[in-house]
Amino acid sequence: MKLYWEYMIRQFNSGLTYKFNYVCNLVSKILFVFSQYFIWKALMEKQTVETASGSIQFREMITYMLVSTFISTIINSDVILELNDKIKSGQIALDIVKPIDYKKLLFVNTVSKNLYNVIYLLLPTMIISIAIFGINIPSLGNGFVFIISVILATLINYMMCFCLGILGFWFSQLWIMNRLVYDLLALFSGKVIPLWFFPVMLLKVADCLPFKMIYTVPIFIYLEKYNNQEIVLMLFVQLIWLVILFVVSRLLWGRGMKKIVVQGG
Amino acid sequence: MKLLIKYLSLIIKSRLEYRLNFFLEVIINIFSYVVTYISIWVLMNQFGGIGGWSYYEVMLLYNFNLFTYGVASQIFFMPMKTIDSLVKEGRFDSMLIRPVNPFINILMNHAYLGFLGHIILGFIVFVICFGKLEIEWTLLRVLAFVVLMIAGVLIQASILILSGALSFKFIQASAFADTLIYGIRNFINYPITIYSGWLQILLTCLVPYALVNFYPTGVILGKYNFNHSVAIVLVCSAVGMAVFALSYAIFNKLINKYQSAGG
């Protein structure tokens, strides 16, 4: 455990090595939030919009956008590409024989990178945005459930990426898969456009995919769009997706490991 | 010249060697932007337009950016992106000792065809938009369209060249380029009139992205009167040529100052 902790601190500190890079990333992030704000402002001229799932206030929409930015920073994971590089270069063999669980190391790696992003990128962006645009604050109970839901969402996203990453043992062009999932996630998770604006046809598609669990569910909890029963149900569904993905990742990892042995033999 | 054509044909042949790979890249690029067009459609379907622009008008606006970016990137994106790692690994030196202009040399050496997807999709969307918007194609309008398109490609290319040129000077220039290209480019997905005044000025004068799609789309859609349209076409082409010349000059200047990491 101490080993992983040490590793995490090192990773965390390496992020600030390139200051210029950091400033650029921060500016990018702030610019992104601003462009989103102006687009929603132009779309919601009348301040309220009637949709199939009730009326939406402009301030609510901005809160949605900010919470979504928050989640996207927290869940962000490069594990697909990282695994892909290691598998392609063969370096994974060295990582596996180290006296440390490589799967856990990958996870710690992601966590430390995200911790860095949250503190140095998200915090300044959020402070500026909230000061300018304002944000709705949920009740204490919902806020607490929201945190649990975000943690589940983070794990779901990580497991999904991890499963795809392991597929690199069989396919060499994994970045294509990465792009495909990223594009589908951007649309059907409700990351940019809330599902309440979707036409029925697309909504049905979104309901079948796990992506919704990553953005829509936590944000709806934050905005108090679910009643208590729905909250419990949604957390349960999140948990089921997580368990499914976890089991799949174990199975794939086992198979992948065997595959390596064959290649080395 | 003959040498260059021979060289280029060899490069293209070698890229097509991995045919499956090439097709997958093209297809995934098309897919990405189809998803983007769907999300624009979802919004426009719900709200019926943005800032007085209808769905197909916004689509045309977006497509101006996509198509010119695709054409410019087809030639410049990969070579300019590779400079970063070439410089870091000291491999750039070999470009300088060959009897070919290093700028041309690097464009040839790292040619990449994956942006064909952007161009194909851009072309299809243009056809769809022009059909739906029932644009009257006079000779002048066709001429304006071609000129504006070239100007757009030149502006997009300049930004890519500039990002490559900065790699000679700074080790971590790629983040700056990403901010410039993707961070600011986000703003021109929708008509710039929805932004506050200072942002509009920034997008028109400082980083002339608005000249790539906002003003040209307005001209093609007949949102301006005749005199204004002519003025816009002239300004866009002048700015296009000017920024291209400027970025090329900066590229050469920084190449001359380049100090090898291996030296």
Point out the residue among B21, B32, B186 whose CB comes nearest to the CB of A32: B186
Average per-residue pLDDT for chain B = 84
A183/B contact by beta carbon, under 8 A: yes
Would you say residue B16 has pLDDT above 60?
A: yes
Rounded to a whole number of angstroms, the distance from the CA of A100 to the nearest CA of chain B is 32
Chain A residue with minimum CA distance to B179: A28
State the maximum Cα–Cα separation within chain B, in Å, rounded to a whole number: 61
Angle between helices B116-133 and B55-88 (to 10 degrees): 170
B198/A contact by beta carbon, under 8 A: no
CB–CB of B31 and A20 under 8 A? no
A180/B contact by beta carbon, under 8 A: yes
Closest CA to A79 of A150, A148, A7, A174: A174
* pLDDT > 90 fraction of chain A, expressed in percent and rounded: 19
3-state secondary structure at position A138: coil
Task: Dump pLDDT digits (tens) for A133-168.
Answer: 888 888 888 889 999 999 999 999 999 988 888 888
Instruction: Collect all residues of chain B within an 8 Å Cβ-Cβ radius of residue A34.
Output: 199
B196/A contact by beta carbon, under 8 A: yes
- Give the per-residue pLDDT at A265: 41
A27/B contact by beta carbon, under 8 A: yes
Rounded to a whole number of angstroms, the distance from the CA of B39 to the nearest CA of chain A is 7
Would you say residue A20 has pLDDT above 80?
A: no
Rounded to a whole number of angstroms, the distance from the CA of B200 to the nearest CA of chain A is 12
B143 exposed, middle or buried (CB, 10 Å; 0-12, 13-18, 19+)?
A: exposed
Q: How far apart are CA A130 and CA A69, in angstroms?
A: 12
Q: Mutate one of B42, B167, B181, B184 to test the A interface: name it (highest A CB count within 10 A).
A: B42
- The residues that bridge with B134 in the sheet, in sequence order, are none
Chain A and chain B share a number of CB contacts under 8 A equal to 83
Task: Dump pLDDT digits (tens) for B153-164.
Answer: 999 999 888 888
Residue A257 CB: number of other CB atoms within 10 A? 13
Q: Mutate one of A121, A172, A173, A183 to test the B interface: name it (highest B CB count within 10 A).
A: A183
- Of the ranges A67-81, B104-118, B169-183, the best mean pLDDT one: A67-81
- Give the per-residue pLDDT at B262: 53
Range with the lowest mean pLDDT among A3-7, A218-222, B31-35, B64-68? A3-7
Enumerate the domain spans of chain B.
2-257
Task: Dump pLDDT digits (tens) for B195-221.
Answer: 888 888 888 888 888 888 898 888 888
Residue A190 CB: number of other CB atoms within 10 A? 24
Average pLDDT of the residues in B178-197: 80
What pTM does this model have? 0.84
Q: How far apart are CA B244 and CA B131, in angstroms?
A: 33
- Give the per-residue pLDDT at A236: 92
Q: In this prediction, does ipTM exceed 0.90? A: no
